Amino acid sequence: MTTAHVTCPLCEATCGLSVTVDDSRVTGVRGDADDVFSHGFICPKGASIGALHHDPDRLRAPLVKRNGEFVEVSWDEAFAEIDARLTPLLAEHGRDAVAVYAGNPGVHNLASALYGRVLYKALGTKNFYTAGSVDQIPKHYSSGYLFGDPFSIPVPDLDRTQHLLVLGANPLVSNGSLMTAPDVRGRLRGIRKRGGKVVVVDPRRTRTAELADEHHAIRPGTDALLLFAMVHVLFAEDRVSLGRLAEHVGGLDELRELAAPFTPEAVAGTTGLAAGEIRRLALELAEADRAAVYGRIGTTTQAFGTVTSWLVDVLNVLTGNLDREGGAMFPLAAAGQANSGGRRRPFAAGRWRTRVRGLPEVFGEAPVATLADEITTPGQGQVRALLTVSGNPCLSAPNAGRITEALQGLDFMVSLDVYLNETTRHADVILPGPTPLERPHYDIALYQLAVRNVANWTPAAMPSDVPQEWETMLRLTGIVTGQGPKADVAGLDEFVAAEVARRAGIDPALAGERTGPERVLDLMLRAGPYELTLADLEAAPHGVDLGPLRPRMPEVLSTASGRIELAPPELTSDVPRLRAELATAPDERLVLIGRRHLSSNNSWMHNVESLVRGSNRCSAHIHPADAKRLGLVDGGTAVVTGKNGKVELPVELTDTIRPGVISIPHGWGHDVEGTRTAVARAHAGVNSNVVADDELLDALSGTAVLNGIPVDVAPA
């Protein structure tokens, strides 16, 4: 029996797990009490990492579709098939004819994080999509223009703040996002224990709201109005206090002028919050010793996603809380910190526009809300083939019915995925990857957003039946660069390491005999700010603590002016649209928002029996007052109709939701033909994104509106 210390890659919290393995069976999973960051915290998903590994439905060999049926083939056959079909397609129709959709688990996967970009760059298509455009891109966009760098995203300094204002996030359930913080419950309790205050703004009284001192049930999609009114109050009551940020800030006068019409009284009706309360929220934020404003999915995937994300940080700046202890701070990771390392070019989005709808690119990607348009609209540059990498757009992207139809019209589709599910069933070839226990891990991406600087290396806990995903990605790189299905993977890997070393200005030989992600990571650690090596991390199985966050201004800035731009035209151009909201009567219909459950992980962990028991249900949360008006009863069935489709699902009456709002979790709808997920099928639920509208976008970033969608609701 062996015990492995594993950093859990299932969400952003990066908890340390102790996994006991007996003759290749996982016999126990516990929180690692000695982990330097998580101190023993674990959630139901982490505890199920063994069940996930042993799931009999999980793919363990490549599948190729022959006459409509998937058959297991050898790896060589699978790559030969891809070469035979993709290479002529590229030759005839060009690079843009092949689209990529890269999903969320790739962010938590060292192989994808380091080698995905090698493959995508080699493919060289403009049709590059990620789950970011149904998630956090508005935050990159606003940071890009505020700070000049889309990766300069401040995180609340949870362990030292005295006042936390949370909007559109439920970290007690999601375990935190754009805020890597194991045991959020403990950390929020800590704020209250030291006499601080937690305030939550959310249309639902969530678990996070229950723990907080105050909850404000805002009308969905109106956070930008609330935040602008708070900015207004700070100016009007002379509470703007930049502190040591003063020398770094520009655009203050423009901002004051822009905020003028947004008085608390003007926004009260639309937001549903009383003017006096809004004023008090602003003044308490200004008066707090050390405060942080934090917003997440409810503030990004909504009609004013970018403006809201911008105003969150504007408040952090105006109250002098940006980049100071206990405020909103910039982490400094041991490897790959994107916003460090000297002068960088200022961020600029919209360098090109998408073919069909003319939507702006954001750091080289197009919004997934327009993927179906690009597949179904004929002409030069039409998408004819698709590569999905750990993504399930048929459940996660808006107007899901249309995407599903579009995938059926492709000439060729390849999926790198561990399940045969709602999306991968449309593929011609599926290439599985190892489980979290079969691969090494280091969270390159999420440590860049951690509330404490830490570094933790996880060697693979057990051998893998399938190739590591970085090898698969390099073989695909070989194919798309015309080297055929048997490219020299070791040679390509040498090239990748040399490139990383060149950019870091160090000697690739420093990594010695290592290859693959180990070599690349070792080089990145050596080039990083703490000058660690992979050997240092190997010697510390519970992680290396690099201390609390430290101020990083002005290194994190890369605007042309070298300052924080509080009112750049690229952000303020959407303010007139927001101002128009003040004069618009709210929609009479119910508005749909999402929610998450502790035991779900977007769309893909519903095949683990222990996670789909009990309260993890795909139901519609509706307020009793709305139910009465609409003739709905608890346990009855509702039909929810949006512009493009409808779903029928059970009703759960609850006064935790604001009247006028209905909530359905995403990631369900597992009862489609041709999948291989028996447990998920037995707990199918419905696909809420059938109702979501692919034309409703955050105007600036093109990110989909997944919260605040007008719908009609009636008894079935």
- Which parts of this chain interact with ligand SF4 (CB under 6 A)? 8, 10-11, 13-15, 42-43, 45-46, 175, 182
User: Min. distance of Cβ 17 from ligand SF4 in angstroms?
Assistant: 6
Cα–chain-centroid distance for residue 145? 20
Phi, psi of 698 (to 5 degrees): -65, 120
Please choose which of ligand SF4, ligand MGD, Mo ion, none residue 46 contacts, taking the beta carbon within 5 to 8 angstroms, the exact cut-off set by kind: ligand SF4
Q: Which residues from 405-424 bind ligand MGD, rule CB under 6 A?
A: 416-419, 421
Closest by Cα among 708, 693, 703 to 135 = 703
Q: Which residue matches tokens 């939507």?
A: 359
Give residues with Cβ within 8 angstroms of 198, minimum separation 6.
Answer: 163, 164, 166, 188, 191, 192, 211, 212, 213, 214
Retrieve residue 452's tokens.
Answer: 């404490």
Residue among 6 and 100 whose Cβ is closer to ligand SF4: 6
Q: Residue 227 and residue 55: Cα distance in Å, rounded?
A: 46
The residue of the chain with the least Cβ separation from ligand SF4 equals 46
Please choose which of ligand SF4, ligand MGD, Mo ion, none residue 697 contacts, taking the beta carbon within 5 to 8 angstroms, the exact cut-off set by kind: none
User: Min. distance of Cβ 493 from ligand MGD in angstroms?
Assistant: 19
User: Min. distance of Cβ 173 from ligand MGD in angstroms?
Assistant: 5
Q: Residue 381 and residue 450: Cα distance in Å, rounded?
A: 40
User: Min. distance of Cβ 608 from ligand SF4 in angstroms?
Assistant: 12
- The number of CA neighbours under 13 Å toward the Cβ of 267 is 30
User: Min. distance of Cβ 177 from ligand SF4 in angstroms?
Assistant: 10
User: Min. distance of Cβ 17 from ligand MGD in angstroms?
Assistant: 16
User: Min. distance of Cβ 485 from ligand SF4 in angstroms?
Assistant: 36
DSSP code of residue 362: B
Residue among 48 and 477 whose Cβ is closer to ligand SF4: 48
Q: With contacts defined by CB under 6 A, name the span among 75-83, 279-287, 494-502, 591-599 that binds ligand MGD.
A: 591-599
Q: Which residues from 10-69 bind ligand MGD, rule CB under 6 A?
A: 11
Closest by Cα among 436, 431, 429, 426 to 403 = 426
User: Min. distance of Cβ 162 from Mo ion in angstroms?
Assistant: 29
Q: Residue 628 and residue 510: Cα distance in Å, rounded?
A: 70
User: Min. distance of Cβ 7 from ligand SF4 in angstroms?
Assistant: 8
Q: Does residue 202 bind ligand MGD (CB under 6 A)?
A: yes
The DSSP line for 547-561 is EE----TTTT---TT
**Residue 545 near residue 36 (C-beta atoms within 8 A):** yes
Q: Does residue 204 bind ligand MGD (CB under 6 A)?
A: yes
Give the angle 543-9-301 at the CA atoms, nearest 5°.
125
User: Min. distance of Cβ 135 from Mo ion in angstroms?
Assistant: 4
Q: Does residue 399 bind ligand MGD (CB under 6 A)?
A: no
**Of the candidate residues 38, 48, 104, 399, the single one contacting ligand MGD (CB under 6 A):** 104
Closest by Cα among 54, 85, 109 to 427 = 85
Residue among 135 and 374 whose Cβ is closer to Mo ion: 135
Give residues with Cβ within 8 angstroms of 226, minimum separation 6.
Answer: 167, 201, 218, 267, 271, 273, 278, 281
Please choose which of Mo ion, ligand MGD, ligand SF4, none residue 707 contacts, taking the beta carbon within 5 to 8 angstroms, the exact cut-off set by kind: ligand MGD
Q: With contacts defined by CB under 6 A, name the span among 152-160, 297-305, 353-361, 517-525 that binds ligand MGD.
A: 297-305
Which sign, positive or negative, has the C-alpha torsion 210, 301, 453, 40? positive
Residue among 18 and 174 whose Cβ is closer to Mo ion: 174
Closest by Cα among 39, 58, 150, 33 to 437 = 58
**Of the candidate residues 516, 543, 685, 708, the single one contacting ligand MGD (CB under 6 A):** 708
Binding site for Mo ion (CB under 5 A): 135
Give residues with Cβ within 8 angstroms of 613, minimum separation 6.
Answer: none
Retrieve residue 77's tokens.
Answer: 């056959």
Binding mask 529-558 for ligand MGD (x = CB under 6 A): ------------------------------
554 prior amide bond cis, ω within 30: yes
Please choose which of ligand MGD, Mo ion, ligand SF4, none residue 391 contacts, taking the beta carbon within 5 to 8 angstroms, the exact cut-off set by kind: ligand MGD
**Of the candidate residues 62, 221, 336, 685, the single one contacting ligand MGD (CB under 6 A):** 221
Cα–chain-centroid distance for residue 76? 34
Q: Does residue 321 bind ligand MGD (CB under 6 A)?
A: no
What are the residues binding ligand MGD (CB under 6 A)?
A: 11, 103-105, 109, 131, 134-135, 167-171, 173-175, 177, 201-204, 206, 218, 220-221, 223, 296-299, 302, 390-393, 396, 416-419, 421, 433, 593-598, 600-604, 666-667, 688-689, 692, 706-708
